[in-house]
Amino acid sequence: MISANNFKTGDILDDYADFRFVECVFCKCQYIHDFELCTLFYDPNDLERSFSTLFGCDEDKNYPLPCRKCKRTEWDFTDIDNDERENVLKGEWGWAI
Ligand SMILES: [Zn+2]
């Protein structure tokens, strides 16, 4: 996994956050996920666009927004391995590494 150490949301809860780079399992589109607060940051140009990745047991496990790149409505994400660090640096979220 790759930590997003320079990522800041301006939220006072940042001290408790654990930001990591993740990617869509289908198209490798990159996102930042806060593993502590279970929030996915969706858009590198608009940090207000985020949503909770916690679901109740009676809820559908569908994210409120489709993947930015492959547009799938049923998608999921996974940690990005450290050996893909170069790709993250060159990507949209490179500023946050
Ligand atoms: Zn995707």
Instruction: Choose between 89 and 9: higher pLDDT.
Output: 89
- pLDDT by residue (tens digit) across 37-94? 899 999 999 999 999 999 888 887 789 999 999 999 999 999 999 999 999 999 999 9
How many Å apart are CA 33 and CA 74, to the nearest integer? 17
Total-model pTM = 0.90
- pLDDT by residue (tens digit) across 11-46? 655 667 899 999 999 999 999 999 998 999 999 999
> Ligand 1 mean position to 12 CA, how many Å?
30
Residue 19: the pLDDT is 94
> Ligand 1 mean position to 68 CA, how many Å?
6
> Ligand 1 mean position to 91 CA, how many Å?
15
